[in-house]
């Protein structure tokens, strides 16, 4: 099982000190209202927002955006492991 694609994923904005809202429409304070993104979409959002990390003239080690596994994904992961164990 390739676990890196298990999701959904949340995006935390260090810049706005909030979660990304659904469909990339703003920011929300509470995790239960945060948008859920698939792995590829979350990577693309964070890569675009964190381009400054590789820019030679910028010196900020802190990413503006970070992707985290949504709490419900852990339940999905546990269920997947049980199914694989039964095969």
- Confidence class for position 6, pLDDT limits 50, 70, 90: confident
DSSP letter assigned to residue 16 = T
The residue whose two tokens read 């994923």 is 9
CA distances from 70 to 35, 53, 56, 61 (A): 10, 24, 33, 24
- Please report how many Cα atoms fall inside a 13 Å half-sphere around the Cα of residue 8, on the Cβ side: 11
pTM here? 0.73
Task: Kindly state the tokens that stand for 64.
Answer: 């503006």
pLDDT of residue 54: 59
- Confidence class for position 71, pLDDT limits 50, 70, 90: very high
pLDDT of residue 28: 98
3-state SS, residue 70: coil
- Sorted by where each begins, the domain ranges of the chain are 9-86
């Amino acid at each position: 099982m390739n676990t890196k694609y298990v999701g959904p994923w949340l995006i935390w904005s260090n810049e706005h000190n909030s979660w990304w809202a659904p469909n990339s429409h703003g920011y929300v304070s509470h995790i239960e209202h945060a948008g859920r993104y698939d792995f590829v979409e979350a990577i693309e959002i964070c890569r675009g927002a964190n381009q400054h990390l590789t820019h030679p003239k910028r010196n900020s080690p802190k990413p503006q955006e970070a992707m985290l596994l949504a709490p419900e994904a852990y339940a999905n992961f546990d269920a997947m492991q049980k199914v694989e164990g039964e095969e």
